[in-house]
Structure 1
């Protein structure tokens, strides 16, 4: 995900000087007159306001033009309402405000952080709304972004992790939108035009296709006023059509990519879960034991500590609007590739049948629940959580119930979920390193 941020010295100073007492944020929500969904959390402790506007406009909407969503989002602050990129940056910086943007597979976002002093907040909001509603997509800047993107694509050819990741997603998803690279290809990027970006923007950056997360020192009435101001500059539009369902793999696949290195970069995985999935917490908890907890995970102990086959090994589930990925990744010496893969598969197979031990489960629960308050410790973190909750229409008490749902999980539930959802005999394996033979 690409992001652009300006430094906010005053905001940082205020955060550091303000004592923090953690409490699970209470989320309120409503819909504006134009159809923009709003999710609001009051945070009066410090005079700061965070707003994050998210649209169903990620790379899954690229269609036959990979890279379109990313470039559209990246161009928003390159010029708007007749102001240049430097002029926009100066306007934000002069009042200590921060602008951010980014695009992922499912969503594209535009964010603002500002102090809530009346003059500064008003100026920050006015500039932000110009970027949001009146992007100019200057031709010269577009050509520059195109060239930079192509340079990035060229550099990825020298990065085995990037090579493997793109091959992994392509083998996993095939022609599904999730199988396309978010940053495009060397063929698709030069073919894009400013007209393509404008058409994408006009279709997807609309009220009914977005949601606004507001976190900060504003009351409900002020939040409603802010939401209507944002909504007013957007066309009503229509929400995007659902992303097609993902088809599970029916057989195992192995992809070998030649690369001149002494190490083999290995990715093993399959289709995983999605946001709001009934098995989300169970799979998340199980993966924490299997490969998500760093040096204490079972994969790390068996692959690295017991056999010295890899410096690092890990696993994760990455849920999306539709089924995301479950992936195990590691690096090992090329001549140890087969041995390392056998150990990984043995560990996964045993874990799938038996689940975690009582000790592993208890330690992982403490790790997850103990670290959870730190992940919602400031407004910028909270606004991202609230945005995700709103975008994927998760329960409003998601943050309230997170800890209790984790603590309620049992070994048997985890083993059952992994037995039903993980299929070791139908996985994609991508190996980058050595010759193709």
Structure 2
């Protein structure tokens, strides 16, 4: 992976709000969102290709993630060391990552090195070498990480949760793979995954920084316009969180159990997502102000941290949560969590509670756009979700207009009857 020195990206964007993004369509048909800012001589690029770990072949979980780790391990005529030296010499930051539904990346460079940075990105995308020594190095690193994770209660609880929640579905497979699946991955698997995901037709791009539209269009054609069209993706069936009401233990000899719990959810593209998001903030997403934080930590001292979040995948959505507590207090912690969910189902939040949540969520939103890199990643994600270029401008109004009726509707879809799938990694004595 990239070892380039860090570029400091602290440019303020008060005068160049992300709401001023403009669409760019290049001669090769690449579509991007562009925010021009001349405050500092930096350019940040974020891009997302459709298709991720859910596309891994059966029995070979980890292919997409291995591919992401190998894209900058040599490309074209440049072996891995030479490629990394070119990045480092120009302080170019290039990285790739793979999630369940997408393979994405980011590029950050000084304006004066933009041409070379774009050329290196184009090479990494179109002509990754996938040399045997690089594959074996990444394989060994991955296997070492998996061995380490076997003693990490948080990782093991999360893995078991997804395996139970989505049993028989691609989302049940760990994106980083298993020792057996990683050992089975061949170069041909990586080449096939590259052909399936890395193509000019399914990429979403956002660019922020000191570059005008004409130069950006030319750069994007060099980076993405010469890619082949990607091969067809495997269709991923829609699914829901299963095994609600069940509890499972991953036996690890530790004095404290790590808990993962979850239930239904609402995808980001759904009109009820914003009400569900506000409701989640009230339940467990609001850090120090959430009901779970107050009841589980502040009032009872059961855990150091506790929270919930919304997970939105292409083929499923869920509300899931986390905490950790002493083995002998697991049952008590879960009872408190269940009680708070039950109270929200039966009574909903108070008007004051709802207003405070909306005030915080609207007031804090701009904090996610204080650097070029953050803006680029937010825009690329919004484009990937198909929410429209005006989403950032509309988002705070959507939050502010959430009503108690919206909250009840979203609660019925996410909490249902309050049953959760729960996984504890540890040795709980009161489960």
Residues 23, 33 of structure 2: 8 Å contact kept: yes
Q: Does 1:26 align with 2:24?
A: no
Give the C-alpha shift of residue 353 in structure 1.
2.4
Give the C-alpha shift of residue 233 in structure 1.
2.5
Distance 1:409 1:435 in 2: 39
Residues 35, 236 of structure 1: 8 Å contact kept: no
Distance 1:92 1:429 in 2: 45
- Identify the residue that residue 267 of structure 1 maps to in structure 2: 260
- Inter-CA distance 435–307: structure 2 relative to 1 (3 Å threshold): closer
Give the C-alpha shift of residue 237 in structure 1.
3.2
- Inter-CA distance 250–144: structure 2 relative to 1 (3 Å threshold): closer
CA RMSD of aligned residues (A): 2.1
Residues 266, 330 of structure 1: 8 Å contact kept: yes
Give the C-alpha shift of residue 16 in structure 1.
4.6
- Inter-CA distance 97–175: structure 2 relative to 1 (3 Å threshold): same
Q: Does 1:6 align with 2:9?
A: no
- 1:380 is aligned, of 362, 367, 373, to 373
- 2:96 is aligned, of 101, 112, 128, to 101
Q: Does 1:66 align with 2:61?
A: yes
Give the SS at the match of 2:395.
helix
- 2:48 is aligned, of 25, 29, 54, to 54
- 1:89 is aligned, of 76, 84, 99, to 84
- Inter-CA distance 242–386: structure 2 relative to 1 (3 Å threshold): farther
Q: Does 1:221 align with 2:219?
A: no
- Identify the residue that residue 344 of structure 2 maps to in structure 1: 351
- Identify the residue that residue 42 of structure 1 maps to in structure 2: 36
Distance 1:87 1:176 in 2: 40
Unaligned runs of 5+ in 1: none
TM-score scaled by structure 1?
Answer: 0.92
Give the C-alpha shift of residue 239 in structure 1.
5.5
- Identify the residue that residue 321 of structure 1 maps to in structure 2: 314
Give the C-alpha shift of residue 40 in structure 1.
2.2
Give the SS at the match of 2:269.
coil
Q: Does 1:431 align with 2:429?
A: no
Give the C-alpha shift of residue 145 in structure 1.
0.9
Distance 1:235 1:204 in 2: 10
Deviations 1:16-71 (CA, angstroms, capped at 9, x unpaired)? 57685462432333555555432222223322212223111311111312000000
- Identify the residue that residue 421 of structure 1 maps to in structure 2: 414
Deviations 1:332-357 (CA, angstroms, capped at 9, x unpaired)? 11111212111110101111222222
Residues 45, 208 of structure 2: 8 Å contact kept: yes
- Inter-CA distance 127–251: structure 2 relative to 1 (3 Å threshold): closer
- Identify the residue that residue 240 of structure 1 maps to in structure 2: 233
Residues 353, 415 of structure 1: 8 Å contact kept: no
Distance 2:12 2:397 in 1: 29
Give the C-alpha shift of residue 247 in structure 1.
3.5
- Identify the residue that residue 129 of structure 2 maps to in structure 1: 136
Give the C-alpha shift of residue 5 in structure 1.
5.8
Unaligned runs of 5+ in 2: none
- Inter-CA distance 279–122: structure 2 relative to 1 (3 Å threshold): same
Give the C-alpha shift of residue 300 in structure 1.
1.1
- Identify the residue that residue 247 of structure 2 maps to in structure 1: 254
Distance 1:354 1:167 in 2: 32
Q: Which runs of 4+ in 1 moved over 6 A?
A: none
Residues 292, 316 of structure 1: 8 Å contact kept: yes
Residues 290, 298 of structure 1: 8 Å contact kept: yes
- 1:394 is aligned, of 364, 383, 387, to 387
Give the C-alpha shift of residue 188 in structure 1.
0.3
Residues 304, 324 of structure 2: 8 Å contact kept: yes
Residues 79, 129 of structure 2: 8 Å contact kept: no
How many residues of Structure 1 are paired with residues of Structure 2 in the alignment? 429
Distance 1:242 1:21 in 2: 43
Q: What pairs up with 1:96-245 in 2 under 5 angstroms? A: 96-117=91-112, 120-238=113-231, 240-245=233-238
Give the C-alpha shift of residue 363 in structure 1.
2.2
- Inter-CA distance 250–131: structure 2 relative to 1 (3 Å threshold): closer
- 2:331 is aligned, of 335, 338, 343, to 338
Give the C-alpha shift of residue 155 in structure 1.
0.9
Give the SS at the match of 1:261.
coil
